[in-house]
Chain A
Amino acid sequence: DAGITQSPRHKVTETGTPVTLRCHQTENHRYMYWYRQDPGHGLRLIHYSYGVKDTDKGEVSDGYSVSRSKTEDFLLTLESATSSQTSVYFCAIEQNGNTIYFGEGSWLTVV
């Protein structure tokens, strides 16, 4: 258990509405990540953070923004949700140098 909590775990929202997913960690890890997982595409990195207020884009960052104002919290925001953002979102932290550990996931459906 890497001490990661994601919220909400399940959400249904309407197209065009903003959505924020929260990742909370309890072990003071510097690096945090947001991935999405889709059939046929596997896990793809959206954004990551290497410290408070330090973030960078991943492979599929369009339509997403992130913020990290405290070490323990990493927020993923969909400014205006689209149906293509229906997915499972996983938060992850880096541990032991170069291995990452995942949270339990947040299931998002955009209707």
Chain B
Amino acid sequence: QKEVEQDPGPLSVPEGAIVSLNCTYSNSAFQYFMWYRQYSRKGPELLMYTYSSGNKEDGRFTAQVDKSSKYISLFIRDSQPSDSATYLCAMSQTYYNTDKLIFGTGTRLQVFP
């Protein structure tokens, strides 16, 4: 079993829909959680960063962490065709050990007009 699991998709939604992207993990020691967005043939770019449990909002994006369920989510409101990309979750146990960052395999999202 992988430490971090992500549904590969593709997830196809109409423009304006609310999108929910999710990751589950097995290591209860993870405390730092990130979401990256990766456009086709580009490098991943950091989208959201959260620590421990709770919600964090940035514009149309909300990151949610539920440590009791070992489950994190990224919500995209009013989705746009420009949101079409692969979304990767990543997580780590400690603040400075970026060599121990674990990535999910990514969920491909398609937003059609």
Contacts and interface: CB of A to CB of B under 8 A. Distances in A.
Q: Is B one of A's binding partners?
A: yes
Interface of A: 31, 33, 40-45, 48, 56, 58, 90, 94, 97-105
Contacts of B6: 42
Given A97-B95, A98-B95, A104 B103 contact: no
Given A102-B45, A104-B43, A105-B41, A42 B96 contact: no
A40 B90 CA distance: 15
For the side of the interface on B, what is the size category? 20 to 34
A90 to B, nearest CB: 6
A57 B15 CA distance: 43
B92 A45 contact: no
Interface of B: 6, 8, 32, 34, 36, 41-46, 49, 88, 90, 92, 94-99, 101, 103-106
B5 to A, nearest CB: 11
Which of A56, A58, A101 has the most chain B CB atoms inside 10 A of its CB?
A101
A41 B46 contact: no
Contacts of B41: 105
Contact of A40 (B101, B103, B105): B105
Given A31-B98, A42-B88, A94-B98, A101 B46 contact: yes
Contact of A100 (B98, B105, B106): B98
A41 B4 CA distance: 11
Nearest to A40: B105
A55 to B, nearest CB: 11
Nearest to A91: B43
B63 to A, nearest CB: 13
A71 B84 CA distance: 36
B92 A98 contact: yes
